[in-house]
A and B are shown apart, each in its own frame.
Chain A
Amino acid sequence: MQKKNKNIKSQLSKVGFFFLIVGILVFISTPLRKIKGEVFEEMRLAIFQQNINEENTTINDINTDNLQVTVESNKEAEENDKKTNYSYIGELSIPKIKLKRGFVSKNSKYNNIQYNIAIAKEASYPDKERGNFILMAHSGNAYISFFDKLYRLEIGDEATVSYKAKKYKYKLTKVYNQPKTGQVAIYRNPNVKTLTLITCTHNDDYNQTIYIFEEI
C-alpha cells in the first residue's frame, strides 16, 4: 500500500514539474519572440543598410561597425535575407522612444501589421512632394506591438524616415483620436509633405490615435 502511494506521489511530482516547465515556457514565449524579433530586425536593418551602401555612398546612422562588408558577409546577408523572407526598403526612426523599424514595399505580403509596421495602400512614399507617408502598427503588449510607445510622443518630437538612400526628417504637429470603425480620416496640411502614424489609443480598446508629422 505504501509502495502504491509512493508511486502515485512520484508520478504526481513528475506531472507537476512538467506543468511547471511548460507553464514557464508559455509564459516566456512572448518575450522570447520579442527578443527574436529584435534580433531579426537588427539583421534586416543591417541588410537594408548594406544594400544602400552598395548602391550609394550615403552612410546612414545604422550601426554597421560589426558588419564587415566582405564577400562572405554578403553571402551571409543573402542567406539571412532568405531566412527572413523579406528585405526592407526603408526605415522609421523615432529617437525619443528608441523606435527603429524597417518597412517593406507596399506590394509585399509582409506589408502587414502582423509582421511589420505596414504602409497603408493610400500612402505615397516619402519622396513624393506634398505626399503623405502613412504607417500603421500594433500597440499593446504583444511582441508585434511596434507602436506601443507612441503614446509618449509630444508635439515637436522628431521622426526620421530613410528611403532610397535619403533621410526625411519630420516634426510631430498634430495628434488626435478617432473611433475604431475600420476607417480613419487623416486631417493634414495637403501643402506639405507629411508622415502619418496610426495605432490603437493607449489603454483604450475603442479608439485609434493618429500622429501627423510635417517635414522639416
Chain B
Amino acid sequence: MSSKMSSKRQIKRSKEKRSQDKMDKAMNDVKKIGIISCCLIAVLIVIGIFINTEESYAAVVQELPEEFTSVMDPVTGDPEDPPMPADYAQYIEGVSTPKAFYGIDTSSSARLSNIYCMDRKLIMSGGRTYKKDKSVIDESLSVKYPGLIYIIEHGDTLPDNILNTKPSNEQSVLIYYINQIVVWWYLDIVNGYSSGPTDVGRDVPYDEPAAHQYENNLTVAEKTAIINDNTYGPYIAEVLTNAMAYNPGTTNPALDNIDTSTITYTMTDEYIETSPITVTSNAGTNFVNYTVSTSNNNIQILNESGVSQTTFSPNERFKLRIPVSEVKDYKINLQVSISGNFSVHNAYFYVDSKRPSEYQRALLGQILNDTTTDSVSLSYEIPTGEVIISKQNSETGEGVSGAVLSITDKSGKEVYRYETTGADIELTLPVGTYTITELTVPEGYSAEVTTKTFEITEGNITEVVITNTPNIEVPDTSSNSLLIYGIGSLIIIAGIVLIVVAKKPNNAKEK
C-alpha cells in the first residue's frame, strides 16, 4: 500500500517536474527573442541615424515636373493662413536673399529642389503653383541664358572653405544664398546691366510698386559689397566667370553619319577586318560613350589594338573582324548598331500659373542621360577576277586530258584541284597571286614546266596556258667500237707472242 502511494507520488512529482522544465525553457526562449529584437531595433536605429542625414535639395533633378508648388520659409502650419514674411539671410553686408525657396510636388507634397528667382522686381511667395515654361536656351528666346545651366549644375554645394564658414545647420541656407546671388548677377550680365563679375554695372529704376525698385536684380551697391567681400566675393566671381563662358552643348544629341566609303578592308585566310572606324556626334563633350553591336555573333567587335570591346569612349575607334566563313559569293553585308550615350544639360523657367506677370519666374535644372541609336550598314565585296586555264598539247595546241592540276594561293593553301578533260576551265578567284602546279602529267606526255604563277586582278580575265609535250620514240643512239679494237689488240698480241716464242734459240740442247 505504502509502496503504491509512494509510486503515485513519484509519478505526480515527475509530472510536475516536467511541466516546470517546460515552463523554464519557454521563459528562456522568450528572453532570447526579446534580446535579439532589441538588438535589431538598435541596429536599425543606428542605421537610420547614419542614413537619415539632412536632406540636400539639389536644383538639378532627373525629371522635371510640369508644375510644382512653391514654398518659402517660414512655413505656416495651416495652408489657409496667409504666408508670413520670408526669412532672409544676409551673409554679405547689404545683400540679402530668402533663406529658402523650394518647390514641392503638387500631388505628393514631396520636396523637389531649391528654386531660384529670376526677376527680383516681382513678387516671390510660397503657395504658388508654378508650371514649366521654356528652356533657358530655347531657340525662340531672343536672349538665351546658358550660364544658368552651369550655375544650377554646380549649385548643389560649395567648396569646403566656403561651406565651413557656417555651422552645419546653416550650410544649406548659405548654398541657396550664394547661388541666388550668382543667378541674379548672371541675369544682370546677360541683360546688359553689368559686363562681368568685376563690373558693378548700373541701376535702372523700376517704376512699378515692388519690393525691389530696379530692373537689374542686384544694385550697384550690392554688387560693390559683393566685390569687396573677401569671404564669398572671390568664389562668386569665379562662378560667374565660368557661367559666362559655359556652353551646355546641344539638347538634341545625335551621332554623325559614318562615311563608309572611307572604310578599308584587310583580308587574311581566316578573316576580313575593317580599318578603325571613328564615331562622332554633335554633342561635343556631352558625348559620354558609345556601344557597338551586331546581330551576328560570329563578328568580333574590337578596339584598335585588336582586343575585344563593345563600349568605347568618344575618342576611341573600333574595328570589325568578320570570319571568311561569313563571305557568301565573295560578298559580306553587315548591319552594325551604334548606340551613343549623351548627357543633356538644360534648365527651365517656371512661371506662376495664374499671375505670371506679377510673380517672379523660377528656375529648375536638369541633366538627362540621353541615348540615341544609329545603325550603320557595311557591305564589302571581295574583289575578284577570272582565270581561264587551258591545258594544251605544245605541238598541236589541242586540249590534253588526264592531267591533274592544283591551284594554290600565295599562302600555299589549295583553292582548287581538278583533272583536265581537254576543255578549258574558267574560275572566279579573289584578287591575288596564285600558283598552278601540274601534279600528274598525262601518259605519253612530258612537262617542261610543272608550275606557273599568275595574277588575278579585279574585273579582269587572266588566261593561263599549261602545255604538255608529246613524247617521241627514239632508238638507243650509243655506239662503241672498243670491243673490236680490244679483240684486234688481243689477236695481235697473241701473234707477237707466238712469233717471239718461235724465234727463241734452244741454248740448253746445243750445250
A residues contacting B by CB (< 8 A) are: 1-2, 5, 9-10, 12-13, 15-30, 113, 118, 120-122, 132, 134, 136-145, 147, 180, 182-188, 190, 198-200, 205, 208
Is A184's CB under 8 angstroms from B476's CB? no
Task: Tell me the complex Cα distance, A209–B476, Å.
Answer: 12
Q: A19-B494, A182-B473, A186-B469 are in contact. Are A141 and B479 (CB under 8 A)?
A: yes
B residues contacting A by CB (< 8 A) are: 394-395, 397, 445-446, 448, 469-482, 484-485, 487-503, 506, 509
Interface of A is mostly: mixed
A114 CB, min distance to chain B CBs, angstroms: 9
Known A9-B503, A19-B492; further 10 A-B contacts with Cβ < 8 A = A10-B502, A16-B498, A17-B495, A26-B487, A121-B472, A139-B477, A139-B478, A140-B478, A141-B481, A187-B446
B473 CB, min distance to chain A CBs, angstroms: 6
Task: Tell me the complex Cα distance, A13–B496, Å.
Answer: 9
Task: Tell me the complex Cα distance, A4–B115, Å.
Answer: 165
Is A147's CB under 8 angstroms from B477's CB? yes
A22 CB, min distance to chain B CBs, angstroms: 5
Q: Which residues of B contact A2 (CB under 8 A)?
A: 506, 509
The residue among A27, A134, A136 with the most chain B CB atoms within 10 A of its own CB is A27
Q: Closest residue to A198 on the B side, CB-wise?
A: B474
Q: A120-B474, A122-B472, A190-B394 are in contact. Are A16 and B491 (CB under 8 A)?
A: no
Task: Tell me the complex Cα distance, A132–B396, Å.
Answer: 12
- 27 pairs from A and B in contact (CB 8 Å cutoff): A2-B506, A12-B499, A12-B501, A13-B503, A16-B494, A16-B501, A19-B492, A20-B499, A23-B488, A23-B489, A23-B491, A23-B494, A26-B491, A29-B484, A30-B484, A118-B475, A120-B474, A139-B478, A140-B479, A142-B479, A182-B476, A183-B474, A184-B472, A185-B472, A187-B394, A188-B394, A200-B476
Q: A27-B485, A141-B481 are in contact. Are A16 and B502 (CB under 8 A)?
A: yes
Q: Which residues of A contact B480 (CB under 8 A)?
A: 140-142
Q: Which residues of A contact B498 (CB under 8 A)?
A: 12-13, 15-16, 19
Q: Closest residue to A138 on the B side, CB-wise?
A: B479
Is A113's CB under 8 angstroms from B475's CB? yes
Task: Tell me the complex Cα distance, A141–B484, Å.
Answer: 11
Task: Tell me the complex Cα distance, A200–B475, Å.
Answer: 10
Task: Tell me the complex Cα distance, A67–B495, Å.
Answer: 45
B478 CB, min distance to chain A CBs, angstroms: 4
